[in-house]
Structure 1
Amino acid sequence: MTPQGFLTITDLSAGYGTTRVLDRLDLAIVKGEFVALLGSSGCGKTTLLRAIAGFVKPSAGSISVNGTDVTRQPPDKRGMALVFQSYALWPHMTVAQNIGYGLKLRGRSKAEIARRVGELEDLLGLAGLGQRKPGALSGGQRQRVALGRALAIDPQILLLDEPLSNLDARIRLKVRHDISALQKRLGITAVHVTHDREEAMVMADRIVILDRGRIAQQGTPQALYNRPASPFVAAFMGAENRIDLTGRIIGDRVEIAAGPNNAPADLPRDGRPLADGPLEARFRAEAAAIVAGESDGNPARDALDLPGRIEAASYPGGAWRHSVRVGDEVLLVDSPTPFALGAAVRIRIPAEALFLFVRQSNPADPEGSLSDGTTGRVLEASET
């Protein structure tokens, strides 16, 4: 687990009415770390952020900052600043007035406010815009004003509630790098809520994936991308293609039996917690290849072949994306060149790009979320 943190959440539960959203969650964030809370709608990430900020009252557990319990403290006493998804700028105030608003509430002098606002305008690329009102700014500029207002009070912790979701795609790519670079430059502790996997990977030191109010897995972007601990995490990290297999463990190898939708294969176990019997395989579209023709029936070593037929092809840029019919499944696979519709092909997935898991027998939990499928224990990326 993560060592004792600057921001520590212990055994936290919270919800709305009788609905529990956070379920006995533990999380420690070290000083200066940028942590992204990643998950789909309803997973609890925004509730967790609002509980940290003081806008949601936990039903159990505690939140501490630098060793001080802040669980029952009001939001303005926690040393935190929250940047909202909507920016929440005052439309009748100028850029300078918006940035300095928190300082004015704290009774700072006009000279001190002007100095601090000027520093932040320079830092955030807003120099010369101080007298404009939000309506005269671009989306990216409004986002930077909201960030400046949050930073003006020198918070110990910066909380970001999907602040980039209202920006168009081109601007979002730049602003995400700007925020990450600024956070590193200031050394501030940041917690960022997002549903965008790429955004989390670009910006965060550590990603915490939530599912139904608990942590499914946490670790560095590289660790979660390359070593997902469950089918749920694998799918969330882009490995949405799924196929059922049957395997047998022989030493440090996994012998995949020929099935209705796959050729036999001999794969490395690679330290994965597998067992004889039904397996679930997941892989990314860009990690596989399309090979013309049908399988010769011989086991492939260090790769898995799936026979299928091309159903559709499109060009989203960089490669052709194909829909390939494999039994009852339609899998997405990229290729540098297009294949003809109806062509018989093989999807070839190299062993290092194939994520294997023991197939869950509970149809109500097809993704095997929350755990390793056996104990319910939350997994660190380093454990898998």
Structure 2
Amino acid sequence: MFAPLKERNYRLWAAADLVSTAGTWMQVLGLNWLILSDTGSAATMGLVVMLQALPVLVLGTWGGALADRLPARPLLIASQAIRALLALALVAHGGHALIFAVALASGVISSFEGPALGRFGSALVKPEALGSALALGSVLSSAGRIGGMALGGVLVGITGPAVLFAINAVSYLAVIGALAAMRTGEMRDLPTAAAGERGVLAGLRYITRQPVVLIVLALSFVLGSLGRNYQVSMAAMTAGPLHSGSGGYGLLSTVFAVGAVLGGLLLAGTGRSTLRVLLGTGVAISALQICSGLAPNLLTFAAVILPIAAGAVVFDTVVSTRIQLDTREDMRGRVLAAVGIVSSLSGMVGAPAVGWLCDTIGARGALLTGGVITTVAAVAGALAIARVQGRKLHLPHPHMPHLPQLPHPHLPQLPQLPHAEALRPAEQMA
């Protein structure tokens, strides 16, 4: 399970990433509090999230091409320094225009930083340890998220949001320090593309010739948009049919976080990042979503949410692992850029779609409808991959634990200015 931690460079990165993620979520909470206290508008928060996502959709392919050409470490040090300056700018809080500008700038940075982070992360460990490294990254992400939100929740009422922004700015120094302290001689040298294959179009042509990759990306989009926008559906369930209010929502958010940690530990322990695990997990969490729509009370709903959260982490991590291991290393930045674009698009499309379904047919109807669609998509994807590979379909047990009841803290979607995400599933936008 902990084989990647034998690598000094990975240990440095993991420690810095934990600190960095905690700082990110402290800033997320502070921004949330600031926007809601100033405007009382959830739509304003949605606009901030959109401003972060749009640059990834527009510039992501160019960011991937640059990641395959340029050395990653100097680029990442520069991006972390700029993020620290953006966080310091929020300390002054010059109004909503500044928040919008910081969100947009953060999205532009993510467009170039995300593929470089993924490519850099894969150079820290041996290929056979990549799945465990990504799974451990998911655990660190969830742990940092829980710690950052918990500490931020205490501090914001005492000090106000400015202190949270300042802490976030300082936390970037951990990443810069780790990058500077790494031993370059212990990193794997990833190949670069030939002169005629270094551009955006070359990357797109390569991806379109990989049918399994295209199927996995399509599954990631469908399941990510209709199957995992639980920040919307959990709120609708607690406010509606479960009648449990903010306390129930807080419980479900905690349950989701616990499930996310357990899912990462499970995958890191087994090391089974195969297509069969991906497809089996996709079918399982989609079927469980149908069950969640039928849950009669809060505790039953929480009991179903826990394995869904664990399975979502397994699914996302295996997607990232297979995308990297099953494609050429000289195309890695551009392939990871495609993953980031799909992730951003699923959030932008899925959250409004799930919200519309909740308003139109109710929270239970939205979960049932989404669950049916994602289950059909997961089975169809499994059949398509089996056909492409010329094999019979045998879905494995998804190796999800029989877990008690309790999530991934997707509170009402928070405007996130993301940190380093090298060895986590490629999902920088909240």
The normalised TM-score by structure 2 is 0.22
More strand by share: 1
Q: Looking at secondary structure, tell me which structure has more helix per residue.
A: 2
Q: Which protein has the larger Cα radius of gyration, Structure 1 or Structure 2?
A: 1
TM-score, normalised via structure 1 length:
0.24
